[in-house]
Structure 1
Amino acid sequence: MDKKQENKKVFLEIVKQLRALIKDEGIQPGEKLPSERVLSERLNVGRSSVREALRSLELLGLIETRHGGGTFLSSGQSHQLVEILASFILQENKSIDDVHTTRRMHEKEAIRVICSNRSLRSLPVWESLFMKLELEDGIIRDLLLRELIIASGNRLALKIWIQLAAYSAVPLKKYSTKEEKPMLQMLLKSMQLGYEEEALRAYENWIRYINNSSS
């Protein structure tokens, strides 16, 4: 098993144990969770690993951190969605492939929304990313993808995308290569011009390149 798969396995196991702990101890919405130190000792994993798992659950809205007060089980109304999503994500094999497919569906829909809206196409972030490519040759891959989802204006999609993207963390958090530069430039310029078909084609070529280079 390579390091990426091993890290993913550890992360999934911690999230499973956290969810089991919440259920077994009957922690109710609004009640406090054990500290990172206590969780680290009880789950027999490093505090940094616990912190990463807690952050993912917080991004989904399952828990909330109060400055100086600790971590609490969220009292929001999103638990049913979170449980459905978490249960699905925590599966293996084919389900993980479906997670990647679902992430890409969100990204492609964001491109469609941006291409169809003049004000979104004109956001300064696209030109900024284009210039960054020109001057520095590369950008962190998930920086562009995150901006796509944010620009689309769907906060629920952003929450879901962040969690889905966690399972592609290694390739998406790397800097793009020189080979990716023309694909990214085509994607950005096509979006700015509202050329949906060209933008989607550039996106597909880019994602295919990432998948091939990571395999």
Structure 2
Amino acid sequence: MTKDQQAPKRFLAIVEEIRSIIEEEQIKIGEKLPSERSLSERLEVGRPTIREALRSMELLGLIETRRGEGTFLADFKRHQLVEVLSTFILQRQQSVDDVRKTRRMHERAAISEICRNEAAAKLPVWESLYAQVLHEGAVWREDVMREMLVASENRLSLKIWFLVKQYDQIHYDALSTEEEAEPLAQLLINLGLQNEQQALTHYEKWVDIIERESRE
């Protein structure tokens, strides 16, 4: 296994180690966590890695950061969604696969919803994104995914997608590549034509490329 392939597991391990520190030191809701510097020294990893792990925990509502004060343990038990996600995301390496499957599930559901809703399929955003791919050769990957989730008009699905995307560590925050152009263009075309099966087929081809890049 390469160093890059080990990265997701190491990331999840760091999050779990931070949770262990919280339990061992019996840090209560509202109390302050050790500083980034302290965590970095104790876990023997760089501060940017600690910062990213804390940011991810904050997205799940497990902790909260107060500017100029530090990081504090949040009352995450109030949020059922947080409990469900933290159970699956923060426990084992197997959860990486669960996260990826969950992300894809929400993306496919959004595509199906758009293709079954004429108003959503006729939104000008699909032509606009297609034009970017055709004339500029690239588009921001996350723009496409986010627009699809928004167009599906499922706010809960959108929220879950943002959370699982963070833990999946897929490279959505980048411009599409030349290899992606064909399946991505066909996905956008078939969204507008309400061709659900074709749209899903090209979506799978497109995301396979992105996931392969994320593993390399």
TM-score by length of 1: 0.81
When structure 1 is superposed on structure 2, of 148-157 and 176-185 the one drifting more is 148-157
- Within 5 Å, which residues of 2 pair with 1:23-102? 23-89=23-89, 90-93=91-94, 95-102=95-102
One-letter code of the match for 1:21?
Answer: I
Q: Which amino acid in the other structure matches residue 33 of structure 2? A: L
Distance 1:76 1:12, change over 3 A: closer
The question of whether the paired residues in 2 share the 8 Å contact of 1:60 and 1:159 is answered with no
Counterpart CA distance in 1 for 2:172 and 2:182 is: 17
Which deviations, in whole Å up to 9, do the C-alpha atoms of 1:160-192 show, x marking residues without a partner? Answer: 323432454355445433232121112122223
1:123-202, aligned counterparts within 5 Å? 123-169=123-169, 171-202=171-202
**CA 1:19 to 1:119, structure 2 compared with 1: closer, same or farther past 3 Å?**
farther
CA distance in 1, matches of 2:58, 2:115: 31
Give the 3-state SS of the residue equivalent to 2:39 in structure 1. Answer: helix
The root-mean-square deviation of aligned C-alpha atoms, in Å, is 2.8
Partner amino acid, structure 2, of 1:54: L
Are 1:205 and 2:205 an aligned pair?
A: yes
The one-letter amino acid of 1:189's match is I
Aligned length in residues? 214
Q: CA deviation at 1:76?
A: 4.9
1:46 deviates by 0.9
What secondary structure sits across from 1:61 in the alignment? Answer: coil
Indicate the SS of the match to 1:64.
Answer: strand
- The residue that corresponds to 2:16 in the other structure is 16
Opposite residue 32 of structure 1, the aligned amino acid is K
SS in 2 for 1:27: coil
Q: Percent identity?
A: 50
Unaligned runs of 5+ in 1: none
Give me the whole-angstrom Cα distance separating, in 1, the residues matched to 2:146 and 2:161.
8
